[in-house]
Amino acid sequence: MRLVPSALLRHSCLLLVPLAISPAGTARMTAAQTPAQPTAPANRPPGYAQVPIVHDSDAAPLPEPFNPALHSIFLIGDSTAAYHNDRMHEGYAEAQGWGLFFYAFFDPDKVNVVNLSRGGRSTRTYLTEGLWDKAVAQFKPGDVVLLQLGQNDIFALNDQIARGTIPDIGDESEEIDNIATHKHETVHTFGWYLRKFVRDTKATGAQPIVMSLTTRNVWKDGHVEVGVNNYRETSWKIAQQEGRVDFVDVSALVAQQYEKLGQDKTFGMFHTREPVHLDIPGAFLNARVTVAGLKGLADAPVSKYLSYMGLMVEAEVPPAVPQEWAQDLTHVTPIPPKTPLTPAAR
């Protein structure tokens, strides 16, 4: 057995811990770092050659808790939280999710941190692909489940990727013949899917914590965007509706950090092609801010599991949400119709 530097050390110089890896493990690491080839899935209909690149980490099986005797903190998210082990060779400026560094803030002798995030998933496709059922099967009483989905809900309901949801909070739905799966499907609102995730989590005895999305690198009049469309508002209202579930306003907390950095330096938190995906420095910043927000909760359910690094993070309470949100929990601000965004290659 030989010692090789950690991938985190090579790319971030933040975790100074060597990894003991066997020759077989080294071979697996080399295979994992081989660039994924842009291939169109077989179930795509003819004529859709330009589909997003699918990386191996987006399709990897969901991990399980390392120590079943301990409680677990589960991360349910998309590529902004996922660990992209097959992209580490691309350097610090490429896409990486904040879940990569989240582990470092918790003591592995006290709790499992299980990152179940998967790139390209919306609340809808995380459910319809069966990922949610597999996740719920792992939850047990006393676990904590962080829910942060929505970046991919913004896209069209029915196209070659068919991942979008209705941008609302109620029980509205739309019947479609799904172009991507060739199946009939009932598509619900973002709020409907998130509400289901909260209720399913509670039914297992685990504690759901709803979180607003990572902040995009989108600026207007010298200020960064706080929340994508009405997803932040919907997430807060679902948390209120479902018995005052804990809510961490990641969008607002991260926006405060970007405002301190300024627009030019904030570009260093994102990879080079678009304003959604984080790079290595951005992933670390978002992980730290998420921990700060979790510590700022009144019940702070994860604070008993913190590592020394986690103990060094100061608790943060986000600014208050707009007052008008509390006046009506059953409706959210309508989104003007517009041409759907085209997903960038992940």
pLDDT digits (tens, 9 = 90+) for 171-225: 999 999 999 999 999 999 999 999 999 999 999 999 999 999 999 999 999 999 9
Statement: residue 47 has pLDDT above 50: no
**pLDDT of the residue at 132:** 98
* Helix, strand, coil percentages for the chain (3-state, nearest 5): 35, 15, 50
For the segment 143-148, the average pLDDT, to the nearest whole number, is: 98
Q: Which has the higher per-residue pLDDT, 26 or 254? A: 254
| Selection from 244, 276, 337 nearest residue 98 by Cα | 276
Whether 45 and 179 have beta carbons less than 8 Å apart is answered as yes
DSSP state at residue 270: B
pLDDT of residue 60: 74
Range with lowest mean pLDDT among 20-24, 280-284, 327-331: 20-24
pTM assigned to the model: 0.81
Residue 236 has pLDDT above 70, yes or no: yes
CB 291 within 8 A of CB 98: no
What pLDDT was estimated at residue 48? 24
Residue 91, pLDDT > 70, answer: no
> Cα dihedral sign for 116, 128, 249, 209?
negative
Residue 6, SS3 per DSSP: coil
- The pLDDT-based confidence of 41 (bands split at 50, 70, 90) is very low
